[in-house]
Structure 1
Amino acid sequence: MKNVLQLLIVLLLLCASINAQNPLVTDIFTADPTARVFNGKLYVYPSHDIVPEEGVQAPDFCMPDYHMYSLEGGNTWKDYGVVLDQNSVPWGKKNSYGMWAPDCIKKGDTYYYYYPAEPLDKSSFRRIGVGTSKNPTGPFKWEKNYIKGVEGIDPGLLLDDNGKAYLYFGGGEKLYVTPLKDNMKEIAAKPIKIEGLPAGYKEGSFPIKVNGIYYLTFAHVFANEGYTIAYATSNNPLGPFTYRGKIMDNLGNGTNHHSVVNYKGKWILFYHWWEISGYNKLRSMRADYMTFKEDGSIARVKPTLRGIGAPTIGEKIQVDRYNDISGAKTSFVGGNEPIGWMVTNTKMMSNVRFNNVDFASGSAKKIVARVASGQRIGSMEVRLGNPKGDLIAEFPIKYTGGWNSWQTIETNLLKKVSGMQNIVVVFKSVWGADKIVNLNWLMLK
């Protein structure tokens, strides 16, 4: 099993594209994503799963460091590399492989990055440390000691309208909250247990304030279901809270850990899943839109392939992360392609719809496709809105050398298209053909 997973890591590292369809990042494993908007830009601060090298004694989750990302354009995530390595924690145990969920928040002109780690002094299972920077991407100056009086995992920060900050944390049967001093590095009062939450294992505290109401979102484990994402509300950041239900159902045999952010007027739920690895200790961050109902409750979020983002000119449109599909299927891409998925088993008049492609001002002149085909007769149409919508491009399908032999082809756009559009790819060949073409991605050019 370990050798297979190590081979998977190598394949992941060969992946050149980092796209905003689900999962958001495919070149490394990322979990526990905390999303923040700073100065109008979307950032994500996740944890990082790896496969331990032979001989390394690591816990079930092997997590040596933190990366961070920003959304560039409409569809591309920029990786800033390692923000903090486990062996650079001033007060931490070396080679602990336990760098769990972090958070980052801005107060004034300073960014504060909070993280849990195993302390060298063995005073607790986990302590929480903090670093500061004048830039959301660092570099951060790490405090020499952990925050006194705080023991636990999963720091979640809330900066209230009056400038007061609160640290939420904990895992197990209890979650805690404590106000922070103005320096954001010390607690202003002894942590208190958050009252009003349901029984059962809880972790992943993430607070937000919406229309004057404090929402505490958290991972909640039901005995007969496993991890869910739940929420409770209060009129006070310290509680007590009233449990309101689930935001997301259990996704399978493993954890879920999330954050919530408002970006460009839309609420987004960030979370993780493990569909790339098939192993729940090697996770990948995802995101889907979330909505508040008129009464202030949160509508249940269903995980999608499409996710968020609006690919624009020069960014890959991962068509396999579809909004709708008919007569075709998706599967892991074959051959020497970077790890991901493709549209396959395409038949006469089968089609796939991908919403929210940003044609911008209409400057695109061509469209590019990454395809593989083991036959020589057919075509692939790109239409607007629906399978019978305006035809904007047509690709002839030719033999590429086989179903795993990939070529990049391009064709002219047949008309000027601008603004945000839904596109539909329609596959055509002779009736009775079992396969027409495998399609990996499109790109406006």
Structure 2
Amino acid sequence: MKSKYFLITAIACTIYSCGQKNANGNADNVAENSLVDTPSFANSISQPLITQRFSADPSAHVFDGKIFVYPSHDYDAGVPENDNGDHFAMKDYYVYSMDSVGGDVTDHGMVLSVEDVPWASGQLWAPDIAYKNGKYYFYFPARDKEGIFRIGVAEGSKPQGPFKANPQYIKNSFSIDPAVFTDTDGKSYMYFGGIWGGQLQKWATGTFDANASATDLEKDNQPALAPKIARLADNMTEFAELPKDVKIVDENGKEFLGGDHEKRFFEASWMHKYNGKYYFSYSTGDTHLLCYAIGDNPYGPFTYQGVIMRPVIGWTTHHSIVNFKNKWFLFYHDTQISKGKTHLRNVKVTELKYDKEGKILEIDPYAAATK
């Protein structure tokens, strides 16, 4: 499946310019403002927000009247591509903000590096952030010294960082893709998990099994692996309970099977609330869809509703959903700047809309020419 949306032959070059204020002047070896149109990229509904370095897995939040974006930071480490995700060798995080969607993007610089995390050995993947108790809590996955993915937390006094990592990862945390949701009653929950390189399948028995499958349970006729949820303690730095399964079910209340690759969970949990309902969204991974399900409380179960976004060019898809100035926006990524290199991605944003029944209108990321 990795080749299906990986690299489409480029046919024309265009120049794209996006106003950026750089806090520290550091930039990756990215061809500045130079993008390549392919038959699909030419029809992109939006353009990259960040062009001075590669970025992916955007977690967007509104703080102080601005949108802050917390992505992972891709770079080419020269590691061969594999199903374990070793080529996603990220080692630090940068933060960005904007006063308006479509306006200038401010680069606040590096806010955390693997060198600042005592327990971590590498692969700082998709992060998230939450605000409570007058502090900002930055959550991130990384491999520990034994190569096992854990989830850590770093604290800061400002949304733009910097953040100081706690000396230990969160007890009972594992796998990847933390997403923290604070409900209207003030309680906060972390959703997390990812199969394949995210190692969720290696925790199927409740303890880590290094010899377990490299992909999933390999049981297509049994319920698929479920994402996890744990309520956070008031201090936001530890779990108040042991992680539980998040059940994603069909209209008959049945869990999706492992073989249903177009609907079952793979990674990239996100939670938002709309009209009193809880919208759990996620990536299907190897089928490259962003999907969502709706429930009546933070724990679910969540009933599958459909697709949010069709596949992007590049193997991964990861997102966040945020309300800003009475409009909803979907932050996502593709590989436009790198011309389709799946480990060198760029963050984008587009408006997200609902119908009268609260269904999300499906988005085609390359439908601009048909509108």
Instruction: Name the counterpart of 1:156.
Output: 179
Mapping of 1:303-382 within 5 angstroms?
A: 303=365
- Superposition deviation, residue 253 in structure 1: 4.6
Q: In 2, distance between residues paired with 1:35 and 1:240?
A: 25
> Unaligned regions of 5+ residues in structure 2, if any?
1-26, 35-44, 196-224, 250-255, 258-263
Residues 269, 282 of structure 2: 8 Å contact kept:
yes
Amino acid at match of 2:353: T
What corresponds to 2:37 in structure 1?
Answer: none
Q: Does 1:23 align with 2:87?
A: no
Distance 1:148 1:245, change over 3 A: same
Could you tell me which amino acid in structure 1 is paired with residue 280 of structure 2? L
* Cα pair distance change 1:144/1:176, threshold 3 Å: same
Matches of 1:249 and 1:80, distance apart in 2: 31
Q: Which residue of 2 aligns with 1:62?
A: 89
**Take 1:54 and 1:296, find their aligned partners in 2: how far apart are those partners?**
43
Amino acid of the residue matched to residue 29 of structure 2?
V
CA contact (8 A) 1:80 1:137 kept: yes
State the match for 2:120 in structure 1.
92
Using the TM superposition, give the Cα deviation of residue 302 of structure 1 relative to its aligned residue in structure 2, in angstroms: 2.3
State the partner residue of 2:77: 52
1:119 aligns with 2:144: yes
Q: TM-score scaled to structure 2, two decimals?
A: 0.73
Deviation digits for residues 302-333 of structure 1, max 9, x if unmatched? 2259xxxxxxxxxxxxxxxxx769xxxxxxxx
**Partner SS for 1:118:** strand
Return the letter of the residue paired with 1:156: A
Hey, what's the Cα distance between the residues in 2 that align with 1:53 and 1:202? 26
Aligned residues of 2:265 and 2:282 also touching (Cα < 8 A): no
What 5-or-longer segments of structure 1 have no aligned partner?
A: 1-7, 306-322, 326-352, 354-445
- Aligned-partner SS, 2:284: strand
Partners of 2:312 and 2:191 lie apart in 1 by 25
Aligned length: 289
Distance in structure 2 (CA, Å) of the matches to 1:102 and 1:186: 16
Name the SS for the 1:230 alignment partner.
strand
Cross-structure match for 2:226: 174
Letter in 2 for 1:207: M
Matched position secondary structure for 2:115: helix
Who is 1:383 aligned against? none
User: AA paired with 1:303?
Assistant: P
Q: Deviations over 1:64-109 (max 9, x none)?
A: 111110014651111111111112112111xx3x110000111242
Output the CA distance in 2 between the equivalents of 1:220 and 1:100.
17
1:54 and 1:295 map into 2 onto residues whose CA distance is 46
- The Cα shift of 1:212 comes to 1.2
> For 1:134, which of 157, 160, 174 is the aligned residue?
157
Partner of 1:217: 281
Deviation at 1:252, TM superposition (A): 3.6
Deviation per residue, 1:261-315 (Å, 9 max, x gap):
011111000000001112111100111100111111111022259xxxxxxxxxx
Cα pair 2:314 2:334 within 8 Å, conserved = no
Residues 22 and 304, structure 1, Cα contact 8 Å, conserved in 2: no
**Residue 105 in structure 1 maps to residue 118 in structure 2:** no
Q: How far off its partner does 1:15 sit?
A: 5.2
**Residue equivalent to 2:301:** 240
8 Å CA contact 2:77–2:89 kept in 1: the answer is yes
| Pair 1:9–1:294, CA change in 2 (3 A) | same
Structure 1 partner of 2:363: 301
> What's the Cα RMSD here?
2.6
**Pairwise CA distance, 1:239:** 1.0
Q: Which residue matches 1:35?
A: 60
Between the aligned partners of 2:272 and 2:334, the Cα distance in structure 1 is 23
Q: Distance in 1 between matches of 2:57 and 2:363?
A: 17
Give 1:203's aligned residue: 267
Counterpart residue number, 1:10: 29
Q: Which has the higher strand share?
A: 1
Are 1:288 and 1:304, in contact at CA under 8 Å, matched by a contact in 2?
no
Q: Is the 8 A contact 1:48 1:67 kept in 2?
A: yes
TM-score, normalising length: structure 1: 0.61
Cα deviation code 1:200-249 (max 9, x no counterpart)? 45110011111211111111136xxx211011111010111111111011
Q: Secondary structure at the match of 1:87?
A: helix
Q: Is the 8 A contact 2:30 2:51 kept in 1?
A: no
Note if 1:284 corresponds to 2:346: yes
| 2: CA distance, partners of 1:216 / 1:21 | 24
Helix, strand or coil for the counterpart of 1:144?
Answer: coil
Q: Check whether the contact 2:313–2:335 (CA below 8 A) recurs between aligned residues.
A: no
Give the 3 Å change call, closer, same or farther, for CA 201–165 of structure 1 in structure 2. closer
Aligned to 2:365, the other structure's residue is in SS state: coil
Partner residue of 2:111?
Answer: 83
Q: What secondary structure, in the 3-state scheme, does the structure 1 residue paired with 2:337 have?
A: coil
| Bigger Rg, structure 1 or 2 | 1
Conservation of the 8 A alpha-carbon contact between 1:274 and 1:282 = yes
From the superposition, tell whether residues 11 and 187 of structure 1 become closer, same or farther in structure 2 (CA, over 3 Å).
Answer: closer
- Aligned equivalents of 2:265, 2:302: Cα separation in 1: 17
Alignment match, 2:4: none
